[in-house]
Amino acid sequence: DMVVLTDGRRLVGTVTPTDTGLSINVSGERIDLATDDIGEILPSPERAFQEHLGAAEGAAVDAWIDIARWCLEEPLLAEGRRKAVLCLQVAQSLDPEDAEVRELLGYQQVGGEWLRGEELAIATGSRKEKGKWVGKEAAELEAVKQRVTGWPDLESIAYRDAIRRVE
Protein backbone atom coordinates (compact mmCIF):
# COMPACT_ATOMS: atom_id res chain seq x y z
CA ASP A 1 0.00 0.00 0.00
CA MET A 2 0.98 3.66 -0.18
CA VAL A 3 0.74 5.92 2.84
CA VAL A 4 0.46 9.62 2.05
CA LEU A 5 1.66 11.62 5.03
CA THR A 6 0.10 14.93 6.07
CA ASP A 7 3.23 16.73 4.83
CA GLY A 8 2.78 15.21 1.34
CA ARG A 9 5.53 12.59 1.48
CA ARG A 10 4.64 9.11 0.26
CA LEU A 11 5.76 5.76 1.60
CA VAL A 12 5.15 2.51 -0.24
CA GLY A 13 5.28 -0.79 1.58
CA THR A 14 3.39 -3.30 3.68
CA VAL A 15 1.06 -1.59 6.15
CA THR A 16 0.19 -3.01 9.57
CA PRO A 17 -2.20 -1.27 12.00
CA THR A 18 -0.84 -0.44 15.48
CA ASP A 19 -2.42 0.97 18.67
CA THR A 20 -1.14 4.49 17.87
CA GLY A 21 -1.42 4.50 14.08
CA LEU A 22 0.33 2.09 11.82
CA SER A 23 3.71 0.72 10.84
CA ILE A 24 4.88 0.38 7.28
CA ASN A 25 7.64 -1.93 6.14
CA VAL A 26 9.61 -0.13 3.41
CA SER A 27 12.42 -2.20 1.88
CA GLY A 28 12.86 -4.21 5.08
CA GLU A 29 12.81 -1.17 7.38
CA ARG A 30 9.89 -0.72 9.78
CA ILE A 31 8.58 2.83 10.13
CA ASP A 32 6.03 3.61 12.84
CA LEU A 33 3.58 6.42 12.08
CA ALA A 34 1.21 8.20 14.44
CA THR A 35 -2.38 8.62 13.28
CA ASP A 36 -1.91 12.42 13.14
CA ASP A 37 0.90 12.00 10.57
CA ILE A 38 -1.20 9.91 8.17
CA GLY A 39 -3.07 11.74 5.43
CA GLU A 40 -4.47 8.74 3.58
CA ILE A 41 -3.75 5.14 2.69
CA LEU A 42 -3.98 4.23 -0.98
CA PRO A 43 -3.26 1.09 -2.94
CA SER A 44 0.39 0.84 -3.93
CA PRO A 45 1.12 2.13 -7.44
CA GLU A 46 1.67 -1.44 -8.63
CA ARG A 47 -1.64 -2.63 -7.20
CA ALA A 48 -3.41 0.45 -8.60
CA PHE A 49 -1.91 -0.32 -12.02
CA GLN A 50 -3.20 -3.89 -11.85
CA GLU A 51 -6.64 -2.58 -10.86
CA HIS A 52 -6.59 -0.16 -13.81
CA LEU A 53 -5.69 -3.02 -16.14
CA GLY A 54 -8.51 -5.19 -14.80
CA ALA A 55 -11.02 -2.37 -15.26
CA ALA A 56 -9.79 -1.66 -18.79
CA GLU A 57 -10.13 -5.20 -20.07
CA GLY A 58 -12.48 -5.01 -23.04
CA ALA A 59 -12.52 -1.20 -22.82
CA ALA A 60 -12.17 1.30 -25.65
CA VAL A 61 -9.06 3.12 -26.80
CA ASP A 62 -9.67 6.12 -24.51
CA ALA A 63 -9.48 3.96 -21.37
CA TRP A 64 -6.08 2.63 -22.40
CA ILE A 65 -4.85 6.15 -23.15
CA ASP A 66 -5.99 7.25 -19.69
CA ILE A 67 -4.07 4.39 -18.06
CA ALA A 68 -0.97 5.25 -20.10
CA ARG A 69 -1.16 8.87 -18.91
CA TRP A 70 -1.63 7.70 -15.32
CA CYS A 71 1.49 5.53 -15.65
CA LEU A 72 3.52 8.53 -16.79
CA GLU A 73 2.20 10.77 -14.03
CA GLU A 74 2.64 8.32 -11.13
CA PRO A 75 6.21 8.91 -9.93
CA LEU A 76 6.35 5.83 -7.69
CA LEU A 77 5.22 3.35 -10.34
CA ALA A 78 8.14 1.12 -11.30
CA GLU A 79 8.84 1.22 -15.04
CA GLY A 80 5.96 3.66 -15.58
CA ARG A 81 7.17 4.68 -19.04
CA ARG A 82 7.41 1.08 -20.24
CA LYS A 83 3.95 0.28 -18.85
CA ALA A 84 2.53 3.40 -20.54
CA VAL A 85 3.95 2.26 -23.88
CA LEU A 86 2.42 -1.20 -23.40
CA CYS A 87 -0.99 0.40 -22.72
CA LEU A 88 -0.65 2.55 -25.82
CA GLN A 89 0.24 -0.51 -27.87
CA VAL A 90 -2.95 -2.19 -26.66
CA ALA A 91 -4.88 0.96 -27.65
CA GLN A 92 -3.22 0.92 -31.06
CA SER A 93 -4.17 -2.72 -31.55
CA LEU A 94 -7.80 -1.73 -30.91
CA ASP A 95 -7.67 1.14 -33.41
CA PRO A 96 -4.52 1.24 -35.57
CA GLU A 97 -5.53 4.58 -37.12
CA ASP A 98 -6.17 6.50 -33.87
CA ALA A 99 -4.16 9.72 -34.28
CA GLU A 100 -3.84 10.44 -30.54
CA VAL A 101 -2.37 7.01 -29.82
CA ARG A 102 0.09 7.30 -32.69
CA GLU A 103 1.21 10.75 -31.54
CA LEU A 104 1.66 9.54 -27.95
CA LEU A 105 3.81 6.70 -29.31
CA GLY A 106 6.03 9.29 -31.02
CA TYR A 107 4.67 9.10 -34.56
CA GLN A 108 4.12 12.14 -36.75
CA GLN A 109 2.15 12.25 -39.94
CA VAL A 110 4.30 13.29 -42.91
CA GLY A 111 2.88 13.18 -46.42
CA GLY A 112 -0.02 10.97 -45.33
CA GLU A 113 2.24 8.41 -43.61
CA TRP A 114 2.80 7.86 -39.91
CA LEU A 115 6.55 7.90 -39.21
CA ARG A 116 8.82 7.95 -36.17
CA GLY A 117 12.46 7.52 -35.33
CA GLU A 118 14.97 7.52 -38.16
CA GLU A 119 12.29 7.48 -40.86
CA LEU A 120 10.72 10.63 -39.38
CA ALA A 121 14.09 12.36 -39.05
CA ILE A 122 14.90 11.72 -42.72
CA ALA A 123 11.42 12.73 -43.90
CA THR A 124 11.60 16.04 -42.00
CA GLY A 125 15.00 16.96 -43.43
CA SER A 126 17.20 15.98 -40.49
CA ARG A 127 20.52 14.26 -40.96
CA LYS A 128 23.10 12.54 -38.83
CA GLU A 129 26.02 14.66 -37.67
CA LYS A 130 28.68 12.96 -35.57
CA GLY A 131 26.27 10.16 -34.66
CA LYS A 132 23.40 12.46 -33.62
CA TRP A 133 20.33 13.53 -35.55
CA VAL A 134 20.16 17.28 -36.10
CA GLY A 135 17.25 19.27 -37.47
CA LYS A 136 17.16 20.63 -40.99
CA GLU A 137 18.27 24.14 -39.95
CA ALA A 138 21.22 22.85 -37.91
CA ALA A 139 22.25 20.53 -40.75
CA GLU A 140 22.11 23.42 -43.23
CA LEU A 141 24.22 25.62 -40.93
CA GLU A 142 26.77 22.84 -40.55
CA ALA A 143 26.93 22.42 -44.34
CA VAL A 144 27.54 26.16 -44.77
CA LYS A 145 30.27 26.10 -42.11
CA GLN A 146 31.99 23.26 -43.93
CA ARG A 147 31.90 25.14 -47.26
CA VAL A 148 33.28 28.40 -45.86
CA THR A 149 37.05 28.34 -45.88
CA GLY A 150 38.84 29.60 -42.83
CA TRP A 151 35.81 29.17 -40.55
CA PRO A 152 37.34 29.20 -37.06
CA ASP A 153 37.20 25.98 -35.11
CA LEU A 154 36.67 27.48 -31.66
CA GLU A 155 37.56 24.30 -29.77
CA SER A 156 40.93 24.05 -31.57
CA ILE A 157 41.66 27.74 -30.99
CA ALA A 158 40.86 27.44 -27.27
CA TYR A 159 43.04 24.31 -27.00
CA ARG A 160 45.98 26.01 -28.76
CA ASP A 161 45.63 29.09 -26.53
CA ALA A 162 45.65 26.90 -23.43
CA ILE A 163 48.85 25.14 -24.59
CA ARG A 164 50.55 28.49 -25.32
CA ARG A 165 49.73 29.71 -21.82
CA VAL A 166 51.26 26.56 -20.28
CA GLU A 167 54.45 26.89 -22.32
**DSSP notation for the chain:** -EEEETTS-EEESEEEE-SSEEEEEETTEEEEEEGGGEEEEE--HHHHHHHHHHHHTT--HHHHHHHHHHHHH-TTSTTHHHHHHHHHHHHHHH-TT-HHHHHHTT-EEETTEEE-HHHHHHHTT-EEETTEEE-HHHHHHHHHHHHSTT---HHHHHHHHHHHHH-
More confident residue, 163 or 88: 88
Mean pLDDT, the chain, whole residue set: 81
Give pLDDT tens digits for 57-66: 888 899 999 9
Q: Would you state the pLDDT for residue 99?
A: 93
Half-sphere exposure of 50 (CA within 13 A, CB side): 5
Q: What is the structure's pLDDT at 122? A: 83
Task: Identify the pLDDT of residue 65.
Answer: 93
Question: In this predicted model, which residue has the larger pLDDT, 138 or 46?
Answer: 46
- Whether 148 shows a pLDDT value over 80: the answer reads no
Residue 33 has pLDDT above 60, yes or no: yes
The whole-number pLDDT of residue 74 equals 83
Q: Say which amino acid occupies 143.
A: A
pLDDT (mean) for 23-35: 90
Q: Is the pLDDT of residue 49 over 80?
A: yes
Of 118 and 162, the structure prediction assigns the larger pLDDT to 118
Report if pTM > 0.85. no
More confident residue, 17 or 165: 17
Evaluate if residue 86 carries a pLDDT over 60: yes
pLDDT at residue 89 is higher than 90? yes
